[in-house]
Structure 1
């Protein structure tokens, strides 16, 4: 049985391939995304500083991950990353950061994870890939699923000001982002 909250010690490191180099300075698309907290969220319209962490997919207890998942660089770690952001959420709020998770999974699928992990922030569904395609986010295909590669966007008034990509290790990324936020303008 796989433990979703911890990472294997031999997890492969993703490579910095330049797939997000075009993102800083881009305006977010006017796409409304379904939220696990109900309703639609248009990230481009939010005036706050945002932390939008994009992840491939969360696993579910008792449901096997796709074959070879742990060998795909950057695939494994969505649950530990979400838990770390949950654990640092108060610090992020103190910096006036609004946090969102984003994946191509359906809202119903994401809602299970949000509830199970006690996430204090919304997970947003880009199941139709409108947001991902508009920004040309790096994707991977696994068992017919189109998944976003793990990355984090810092957004100010609808414009991407910072991109963290690749993200590794995912369980320590919340602290990396906090360190950057505490020294950034």
Structure 2
């Protein structure tokens, strides 16, 4: 089955993810010294970045007109919405920076080449990190799901202050509101 319109989603027809408690341990954790490839060709070690960092995770973005990972992708709670989530962070990027985020990153288990196509197509102004080896996901014990033989990070967002997780948004639904929720939290919790 071909990917439907990646942006035009009726969230009332998509099952919302439930809070399974899989992110309950994250607040206060230190970010491990894992280095990940970024879409600009550099490598990023989140643990070495001072200040406030926003990191949002998603299972995987789709490509218009391409075949879905599985036919029932939209019916997997929390699966659908990676492109709307990324575009919302794109659209609020300047506001997030003005609210104190020194860096904003996306992260998924897709490889950098796949992510780079998405970043270019959607004009994303920040880097997306590839955790294709699941190094960060495993080190932090991030919530994950297995689909079509792949382990994918469940959708969430982290506010990281000086390499320590200060706040977690999980579960995230609908995904296109996640950036706005993060922005509100940053504005209400300045450093």
- Does the alignment reach a TM-score above 0.5? yes
User: Residues 56 and 157 of structure 2 are in contact (CA less than 8 Å); yes or no, is this contact kept in structure 1?
Assistant: yes
Alignment partner, residue 36 of structure 2: 33
How many residues were matched structurally? Answer: 185
Alignment partner, residue 98 of structure 2: 94
Higher mean Cα deviation, 141-150 or 6-15? 6-15
1:42 is aligned, of 40, 45, 52, to: 45
Confirm whether residue 70 of structure 1 aligns to residue 70 of structure 2: no
2:117 is aligned, of 112, 137, 145, to: 112
1:112-167 Cα shifts (integer Å, max 9, x gaps): 10000100000000000010000000111111111000000000000000000000
1:40-70 Cα shifts (integer Å, max 9, x gaps): 0000100020110000000012212121100
Cα RMSD for the two superposed structures: 1.0
- Report the TM-score, using the length of structure 2 for normalisation: 0.94
Q: What displacement does 1:96 show? A: 2.9
The separation in 2 between residues aligned to 1:130 and 1:88, in whole angstroms, is: 28
Confirm whether residue 164 of structure 1 aligns to residue 190 of structure 2: no
The separation in 2 between residues aligned to 1:144 and 1:6, in whole angstroms, is: 28
Alignment partner, residue 4 of structure 1: 6
- Report the TM-score, using the length of structure 1 for normalisation: 0.97
User: Residues 106 and 126 of structure 1 are in contact (CA less than 8 Å); yes or no, is this contact kept in structure 2?
Assistant: yes
Over 2 Å off, 4+ runs: none
Alignment partner, residue 180 of structure 1: 185
Unmatched 5+ stretches in structure 1? none
User: Residues 6 and 77 of structure 1 are in contact (CA less than 8 Å); yes or no, is this contact kept in structure 2?
Assistant: no
Q: What displacement does 1:173 show? A: 1.2
Q: What displacement does 1:37 show? A: 1.2
